[in-house]
Amino acid sequence: MRRSTPGRLAVAACSLALLTALAPAASAVPAAASKAPTAPAAPAGHHPGPAAKRVGYFTQWGVYGRDFQVQDLETSGTAGKLTHLNYAFGNISAQGTCVMGNIPGEADAWADYERPLDAANSVDGTADTWDQPLAGNFNQLRELKAEHPGLKVLLSLGGWSWSTHFSDAALTPASRKALVSSCIDLYIKGNLPQDGTRGGAGAAAGVFDGFDLDWEWPGSAGDTDTVYRPEDKRNYTALVREFRTQLDAYGRAQHRKYQLSAFVPAAPAKIDAGFEVRKIMRDLDFVTLQGYDFHVSGEPVTAQQSALRARGDFSGDATVESWLRRGAPAHKLVLGMPFYGQGWTGVSGGGDGMGQPATGPAPAKWGPGYADYKELKELAADPRYRLYRDRRGGHAWLFDGTTLWTYDDPQVLRDKARYVRARGLGGAMFWSLDADTPDGELITAVDQGLRH
């Protein structure tokens, strides 16, 4: 996953380049001559179709620079195609509890539940008032759920930047109990900090239907200030168990079921360092697999970032196989798909640009080497760029002779969704919804692939 603080450049979800040497790029063909990879036939009688999960991340900070509001999920038609909406991110304090407030770089209560929205930007068309306890994104999520009663909204806890204190918080039975209790109190019971007329006891009750654990990474390195230790592996299992136990206990009292998911890595070394796969899968409703950032723009050679298949390299299929071999059930594996691209500039060596030296990340609107799909769609219409596809690998890239962007377009995503169906997987996940077009072009493609 990516950043958790507005105003800070997104760092690669996992620096996989440090874990493996770059494999030779698969041979590519121009888009006009390309052919999508054929997924294996689905098992007889297996038709996940509409039942497959569609999990999209909504970024807290996207309401600022990108001006992507909860209402946009409704106007784009996206909300009606989702089964789960993950709100990114919640943070853990140095004291080992879920924390919220207006703390620069650590929490943003203004975006979460204080910011008033006018009628034009509200899901239900009604302006927020000065004295209502819940405003901001949380209130809009409540309104969105009223329009889509089947939609589950999960609070995603951690992320690349905010996994700092996970290891400490999971260290002992007492610390795990305290962490989970504080998270349930804040997000499930909705007992928000009081700030003037906003917040208070139960202010956000009913907004969230569970948690998505985004600890990057137990037992191995993540962001520069993120603590990790060998015992994280067993402590992660115990933390998942604690979340499941407390959520179930509270759910029984409320006569409802709260959900628990986790974002998990692609690299086998990271899986083995931090995850007792068979044990955690008993308590998790599903996991979302890292299906992107296999290579990132900080690397010196261009490479695919999200191929479905890549011989001798990271890929979506290899990630699925890694989790299956370690005991994860297929129906609980949700394949992550990027709604953004990784880009390089100063690419030399000619050809289609893939597997060639580069001088650095490509310039882009939101940060070097990182561009939303809606921006890349515009580049694809630029006659200076040529679209390439890898037939066997199932990925695409743009190249103008100097700058290369690797990304997933609608054709790639439809093929990936068909792969999900053919393998009997649990569904598809998207990072992140604010990178799609205003009419939801990418999520529509995935939805089509999951149905047909």
Give the residue numbers marked as catalytic. Answer: 216
Q: How many CA atoms lie within 13 A of 196 on its CB side?
A: 12
Q: How far, in whole angstroms, is CA 119 from its chain's centroid?
A: 29
Contacts of 10 (CB under 8 A, 6+ apart): 2, 3, 160, 366, 367, 370
Q: Where are the alpha helices (DSSP H) in 275-409?
A: 277-283, 316-325, 373-380
Q: Tokens 């038609």 sit at which residue?
A: 77
DSSP class of residue 404? E
Q: How many CB atoms lie within 10 A of CB 303?
A: 28
Q: Is the peptide bond before 162 cis (omega within 30 degrees of 0)?
A: no
Residue 234 has which token pair? Answer: 């067993």
Calpha distance 109→192 (Å, rounded): 9
Task: Report the alpha-carbon distance of residue 180 to residue 169 in Å, rounded.
Answer: 9
Beta bridge partner(s), residue 56: 85, 430
Task: With beta carbons less than 8 A apart as the criterion, state whether 117 and 135 touch.
Answer: yes
Enumerate the β-bridge partners of residue 309. none
What residues have CB less than 8 Å from 67, skipping those under 6 apart? none
Nearest Cα to 237, choosing from 210, 259, 264, 208? 264
The amino acid at 325: R
Task: Determine which helix (DSSP H) or strand (DSSP E) holds 58, and give its type and residue range.
Answer: strand 53-59
